[in-house]
Amino acid sequence: MIELIRQPWPWYFSGFMIVVIMLLLNFWGKSFGFSSNLRTICSMAGAGKKVKFFDFDWRAQRWNLLFLIGAVIGGWISSTFLSNPNALELSAATVKDLQHMGIQFNGQLNPDELFGLQALAAPKTWILLLSGGILVGFGSRYAGGCTSGHAISGLSNLQLPSLVAVIGFFIGGLIMTWLLLPLLI
């Protein structure tokens, strides 16, 4: 049984599970989005006393916090006990593109040159992480939600602002991948 779980699963299984979860959330009148957990955590810490945006009943969002905690625990269990080190396969063209940017593919999900501990020694890494975090935080607040909230929950509820946001996410991703990333690495 463990060997079955450790194998890469087809993409459509994830899609099916997302549909099941979205149907259940819609049934119970909930809206999914991970970035809303940041607002909930800030509210729990008392930020609502200073900033009106954080002044709400965070207890109504406990279910979403449990989802966040479950995702973290599930990710840890998966990477610690169920990961298959040979499961990740990249196309030769992708490996060549990575090598052109100075990144060696070692079979892992995240390249060491970008995400390894040695990368944290470079000030460039800290600047990229800080500026990326600020941009993601600003963007999710400005867009009224994160990629998962808009692309999964918003689109399943047929919300036009979510469609506009998702189109913007894709355009931003393409610009980052094809124009900015080669300049930064």
What pTM does this model have?
A: 0.68
Whole-number Å distance between alpha carbons of 137 and 112? 25
User: Terminal CA-to-CA distance of the chain, rounded, Å?
Assistant: 42
What digits encode the pLDDT tens for the residues 7-65?
Answer: 777 889 988 998 898 888 888 888 777 888 888 999 999 999 999 989 999 999 898 89
Residues present in the chain in total: 185
User: Hey, is 85 helix, strand or coil?
Assistant: coil
